[in-house]
Amino acid sequence: DAKTTQPNSMESNEEEPVHLPCNHSTISGTDYIHWYRQLPSQGPEYVIHGLTSNVNNRMASLAIAEDRKSSTLILHRATLRDAAVYYCILFSGGYQKVTFGIGTKLQVIP
């Protein structure tokens, strides 16, 4: 099964950019890279996803390495509302063993 590795925690100052890394060295050609974030006692919220090319949306940007073995979620200006646990997950057709892992807990400092 394709697995992802993320740092347990990161800190950022408010209004500064944040780069959240994810390693997925065993990624297969059909795996999409997804990012979700979760606040305490809430369900995860979709942030962004991509396959090979970098992606941008209103919430964030996703930078995918050329060999696809790593990716980075970029929050351009961190706000206090961005403090959450961020999960990097690989999805492809067939979900038998999807696991979110423990993610990266992002703390935003005012």
Partner 1 sequence: DGGITQSPKYLFRKEGQNVTLSCEQNLNHDAMYWYRQDPGQGLRLIYYSQIVNDFQKGDIAEGYSVSREKKESFPLTVTSAQKNPTAFYLCASSLGLTGNQPQHFGDGTRLSIL
Residues that bind partner 1 (CB under 8 A): 30-32, 34, 36, 41-46, 49, 51, 87, 90-103
Judge contact between 1 and 101, C-beta under 8 A: no
CB of 98 to partner 1, least distance (A): 5
Instruction: Please say which residue, 82 or 87, places its beta carbon nearer to partner 1.
Output: 87
List helix spans (H) across 36-87. none
CB of 12 to partner 1, least distance (A): 21
Instruction: Please say which residue, 49 or 63, places its beta carbon nearer to partner 1.
Output: 49
The Cβ of residue 69 has, within 10 Å, a number of other Cβ atoms equal to 13
Torsion on CA atoms 29, 10, 17, 4, rounded to nearest 10: 0
CB of 41 to partner 1, least distance (A): 7
